[in-house]
Structure 1
C-alpha cells in the first residue's frame, strides 16, 4: 500500500519543518492488526503559511477482506508528535460515476473587502449508499485571480448523505479576493469515466 501524507503549516508564520519519525497502525474494534514505525529525517525550509509538504511511504499492508478499519498515523514535527486517525475501507471496485455526488461550498456570496474569509469545499453524497470515489483530478480556481488549487489521484469514502471536506480557504489567503468586484469560484472534479463542474458567483464590496 502506498501512503502519501500532507503536513500543513497551519500557524500564522513561515516555518522550517523537520519531520523525524513516523508510526502507522491499523485497528479494528480496538485491536491492533498491524503497525510499522521508523525514521523520515526530512527537513523543509521556509514553508509558507497554509502551505504543505508531502511525505510518501510504501508499507507492506494487505487487506484481503472487504470492510472498514482505522488507520492511525503519527509523525514527529519539530519535536512534537502530531497524529490523525482516518478510516480505511477495503473494496472490490471504486465508484467512477458522479451522478450521486454533489459539490457544496459554504463560501459567502457577498462580503466586504478586508473581511477575514474562511470557507470550505465539500463533496457530498446525495444517495443512501456508500460511495468509494477514486478521483483523478480536482481543480479549484477563483477567477479572474490567478488563484488555483489542484489535487490528483486520491480516494474518498462518502457515507450515505454525508459530505467530506476536500479544500479549505484560510483567512491569510484573503488578499486573493481583497479588491471590490465580481468573482467566480469554479470546482472541477474528474474520475476515470465521469466529470462534474460547479460554479458560484462572489461579490466583494468596498
Structure 2
C-alpha cells in the first residue's frame, strides 16, 4: 500500500508562490529567514521524508513562518489570510523589535552627534557610545546594553546578562546590595583601540 503525500499547507502555498516572485533562490531566502534551504522546502511542501519512504507532515512554527514571510517581503496580513494568525502576530513582534533597535540606535547616534539619516553599523554605533565624552560610564553601559538586548531580541536570541553577582556564594537575593553586583565583562563588546 502506497502512502499518501501530506497536503501542502495554505501558508506553504502562499510562501512558495511569493518566493518565486522575488527572483531569489530558495537558499538566499532561507538564509534571510535564518533556516536551512532544506527546512524551507519542507515547510513549503508541508512534509519531510522519514525512514522507510514515509512522509511526515510538517507545519512551521510561528517564528519561523514569520521570518520566512519577511524574507519574501510580505506583510503579517498575508500569514493571517493563510490561516496562521499566530505567525502573523510573531511577525508583528519581530517587526516591533526591529523598530526598537532602530530607535535606540537613532537615539544613540543623536547623543554622539551623528545624523540618524546616515546610519552607521551596529558595532560602529557601540564604538561611538564608548567614545562619547558627554556620557558617564554607567550611561554608556546602559546604552550599550539597550542596543545589545534589542539586537538579541530582533535576532531571537537571549542577551548575555550585563551584570552578575560579584560573589556567587552570597546569601539570598533579598539581601543584595549594589556593591554585590559587578559588570559582566563577557557581555561587553571589545572597547575600540584608539
Relative contact order higher in (CA < 8 Å, ≥ 6 apart): 1
More helix by share: 2
TM over 0.5: no
Where is the strand percentage greater, Structure 1 or Structure 2? 1
Largest Rg, 1 or 2: 2
Q: Give the TM interval when normalised to the shorter protein.
A: under 0.3
TM (norm. structure 2) is 0.23
* TM-score, with structure 1 as normaliser: 0.22
